[in-house]
C-alpha cells in the first residue's frame, strides 16, 4: 500500500511545484501567514501603470477604423451578391443510359489466338447498358408565369434520359431539355413551376482582370455553395475544352459539380457559366474556366427560339500572328488574325479580303488573334453586314462583309483554321502558300500549292517521307491550290492517293496511305 500511495503522490507534486511553492510554505507556518496578510491589507493599493491597460478600441467609442469599415463594406457586398443570385441557382441531377461491353471470358485468348487456330476473329460478347447518374449546377435566367429556363452546360445535361432539378427553396422538379450545343458547351433546360426567381446576365465584355467574383453551385453535391476569387485572366483561347474558346479564368474554387453554375460579379449578375477546371488531381487547384455570358446569351437565345444554334460564316482560314510572321509582313506587333486562305464565292471573298490580310477589327471589336475573330464572327447573326478592318501591305483597309450562316457543308472559322488545315488521320498539317510562307521556306515566288507545316511522328505522312517545308502541288494528277481542293481530292480516295511534292528544287511523287 505504501508503494502504491507513493507512486500516486509524486506526479501530483511535480506538476504543482512551480505554482504551489508559496502555498506550501505558508501552510507550514500559519501564524506567519496571518501576520503577512494583515500587513498587506493595511497598505494602500498601488496605482496601475497606464501602459498595462490599453485604451478601448476606437470602434467601441463609435468610430470604426478605416480598414475595418472597408472590410465590413466588402463583406456586405459579398453577402448581397450571394443573396441576389442564390435563389436562382439550382442543383441538376441527370441519368444517362451508357453502353458497356459485357464481360467476356474469351478475352483471355485474344484475337490472334482465334485467327491462328480458327482463321477468324474471336466472337464478341453482347454489350450491355446501365444507368449512369450525374450531377451539376444551373441558373434560372428567365422566369415566366408558369415556366422557367435554366442555363447550364451541355456536358451536364446533354444526352441525358432524365433531368431533375432541385431549387434553392427545396422544390424538386422534372426538367425538359430545350437544346444543347456541344460546340460552345451551353445547354438550356425548361421547368414548369410558379413564382420562380431568376438571375440577370451581365455584359462579360466589361469585366476586368482582378475583379472580384463569386462562383455558386453544387460542388460534390453540396448545393448552394458560394466561393470567392478574382478574374485571373480573360480571353483564354489556348484551352482545348470547346470549339468556341474565349474563357474567363478565375481562382474562385470550382470543383466537380460546379459545372453549369454561375460566375457572378458583386452585383449578383452572371458574367460566366462555370465549365471546367485545370487539375492534376480531379479537384480544385486554383484555376477554373467559365464561358462568358455574352457567348452564353447568344447560344441560349438560339436554343430557346430554334432548338439549335446558327453560327456565322466568313469563309476564311485564319491563324495566329507570330513574331516571325509579323516581321515578314512588316507589322510592329503580333495582334490580329492572319488570313491564310479565302474560300471562293464566300462572304470574305465578296467583301474583298485576300490571303495575307491581317484582320485587326471585326464589327467594331479589336481582334487580338485567330480565336478572337472566330468567336466574334461565330456569334454574329447570319445576314448581318458588319465592318471588318485589315492591314494589307502596311495599310489599314475597312470592308463591309455580310455574314452567312454556317452549315455542315461549309468550313467556317474553324479553330484558327485547324479543321481545314489539320488532317489528323494522316498526321499532316498544311497551309496555303502565301508571300510570307514562300519567303520563310525559301520557295520560288511562283510556287503554288499547299505547304506542309507539321508532321506527326510515326504517322502515315511521316512514313511517306513528308516533313515541314514540303510543298504539295498535285493530288492524283490534279493541281491543288486551296485547302478545299486538297480535302476534296483526298475525299475521292479510300485507300491511298498519289501526290506530287516539291522540296527545294527536288520534285517527286509519293503515295500517301489513307487508311
Name the region of 230 (left: φ>0; alpha: ψ -120 to 50; beta: rest). Answer: beta
Helix (H) or strand (E) holding 297: helix 293-306
Compute the distance between CA of residue 259 and CA of residue 162 in angstroms, rounded to an integer.
18
155 is catalytic: yes
446 DSSP assignment: T
- Helix axes 17-28 and 30-42, enclosed angle (nearest 10): 100
Candidates 137, 181, 184, 185; catalytic one: 185
Distances (CA, A) of 51 to 55, 59, 61, 404: 9, 20, 19, 79
Dihedral of the CA atoms 66, 70, 73, 74 (nearest 10)?
Answer: -170
Candidates 91, 137, 155, 340; catalytic one: 155
How many helices (H) and strands (E) in the chain?
14, 27
Identify the burial level of 440 via C-beta atoms within 10 angstroms of its C-beta, where 0-12 means exposed, 13-18 middle and 19 or more buried: middle
Compute the distance between CA of residue 89 and CA of residue 226 in angstroms, rounded to an integer.
11
Compute the distance between CA of residue 231 and CA of residue 57 in angstroms, rounded to an integer.
36
283 DSSP assignment: S
Compute the distance between CA of residue 329 and CA of residue 322 in angstroms, rounded to an integer.
10
Contact (CB, 8 A) for 278 and 285: yes
Strands 225-236 and 212-217: antiparallel
* Residues contacting residue 299 through CB under 8 Å, at least 6 positions apart: 181, 184, 186, 309, 379
26 is catalytic: no
Candidates 232, 237, 259, 355; catalytic one: 259
Contact (CB, 8 A) for 426 and 511: no
* Residues contacting residue 179 through CB under 8 Å, at least 6 positions apart: 187, 188, 302, 303, 304, 306, 307, 308, 309
281 is catalytic: no
Residues with catalytic roles: 155, 185, 259
Amino acid at each position: 500500500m505504501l508503494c502504491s500511495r507513493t507512486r500516486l503522490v509524486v506526479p501530483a507534486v511535480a506538476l504543482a511545484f512551480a505554482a504551489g511553492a508559496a502555498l506550501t510554505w505558508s501552510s507550514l507556518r500559519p501564524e506567519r501567514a496571518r501576520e503577512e496578510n494583515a500587513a498587506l491589507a493595511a497598505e494602500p493599493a498601488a496605482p496601475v501603470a497606464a501602459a498595462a491597460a490599453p485604451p478601448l478600441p476606437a470602434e467601441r467609442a463609435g468610430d470604426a477604423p478605416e480598414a475595418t469599415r472597408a472590410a465590413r463594406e466588402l463583406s456586405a457586398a459579398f453577402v448581397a451578391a450571394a443573396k441576389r443570385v442564390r435563389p436562382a441557382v439550382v442543383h441538376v441531377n441527370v441519368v444517362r443510359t451508357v453502353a458497356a461491353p459485357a464481360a467476356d471470358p474469351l478475352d483471355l485468348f485474344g484475337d490472334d489466338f482465334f485467327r491462328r487456330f480458327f482463321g477468324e476473329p474471336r466472337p464478341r460478347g453482347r454489350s450491355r447498358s446501365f444507368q449512369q447518374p450525374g450531377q451539376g449546377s444551373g441558373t434560372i435566367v428567365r422566369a415566366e408565369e408558369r415556366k422557367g429556363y435554366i442555363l447550364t452546360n451541355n456536358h451536364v445535361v446533354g444526352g441525358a434520359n432524365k433531368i431533375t432539378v432541385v431549387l434553392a427553396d427545396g422544390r424538386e422538379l422534372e426538367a425538359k431539355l430545350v437544346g444543347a450545343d456541344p460546340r460552345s458547351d451551353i445547354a438550356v433546360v425548361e421547368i414548369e413551376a410558379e413564382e420562380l426567381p431568376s438571375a440577370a446576365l451581365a455584359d462579360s465584355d466589361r469585366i476586368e482582370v482582378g475583379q472580384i467574383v463569386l462562383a455558386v453551385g453544387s460542388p460534390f453535391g453540396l448545393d448552394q455553395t458560394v466561393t470567392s476569387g478574382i478574374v485571373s485572366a480573360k480571353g483564354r483561347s489556348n484551352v482545348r475544352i470547346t470549339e468556341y474558346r474565349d474563357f474567363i479564368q478565375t481562382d474562385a474554387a470550382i470543383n466537380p459539380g460546379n459545372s453549369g453554375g454561375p460566375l457572378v460579379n458583386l452585383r449578383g449578375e452572371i458574367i460566366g457559366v462555370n465549365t471546367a477546371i485545370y487539375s492534376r488531381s480531379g479537384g480544385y487547384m486554383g484555376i477554373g474556366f467559365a464561358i462568358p455570358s455574352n457567348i452564353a446569351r447568344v447560344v441560349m437565345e438560339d436554343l430557346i427560339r430554334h432548338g439549335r444554334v446558327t453560327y456565322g460564316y466568313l469563309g476564311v482560314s485564319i491563324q495566329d500572328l507570330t513574331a516571325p510572321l509579323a516581321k515578314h509582313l512588316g507589322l510592329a506587333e503580333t495582334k490580329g488574325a492572319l488570313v491564310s486562305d479565302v474560300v471562293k464565292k464566300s462572304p470574305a471573298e465578296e467583301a474583298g479580303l485576300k490571303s495575307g490580310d491581317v484582320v485587326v477589327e471585326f464589327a467594331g471589336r479589336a481582334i487580338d488573334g485567330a480565336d478572337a475573330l472566330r468567336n466574334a464572327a461565330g456569334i454574329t447573326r447570319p445576314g448581318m453586314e458588319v465592318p471588318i478592318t485589315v492591314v494589307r501591305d502596311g495599310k489599314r483597309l475597312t470592308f463591309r462583309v455580310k455574314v452567312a450562316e454556317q452549315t455542315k457543308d461549309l468550313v467556317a472559322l474553324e479553330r484558327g483554321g485547324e479543321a481545314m488545315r489539320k488532317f489528323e488521320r494522316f498526321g499532316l498539317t498544311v497551309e496555303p502558300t502565301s508571300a510570307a510562307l514562300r519567303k520563310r521556306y525559301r520557295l520560288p515566288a511562283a510556287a503554288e500549292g499547299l505547304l506542309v507545316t507539321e508532321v506527326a511522328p510515326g504517322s502515315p505522312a511521316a512514313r511517306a517521307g513528308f516533313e515541314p517545308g514540303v510543298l504539295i502541288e498535285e493530288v492524283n494528277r490534279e493541281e491543288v491550290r486551296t485547302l478545299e481542293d486538297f480535302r476534296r481530292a483526298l475525299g475521292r480516295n479510300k485507300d491511298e492517293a498519289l501526290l506530287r511534292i516539291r522540296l527545294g528544287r527536288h520534285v517527286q511523287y509519293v503515295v500517301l496511305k489513307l487508311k
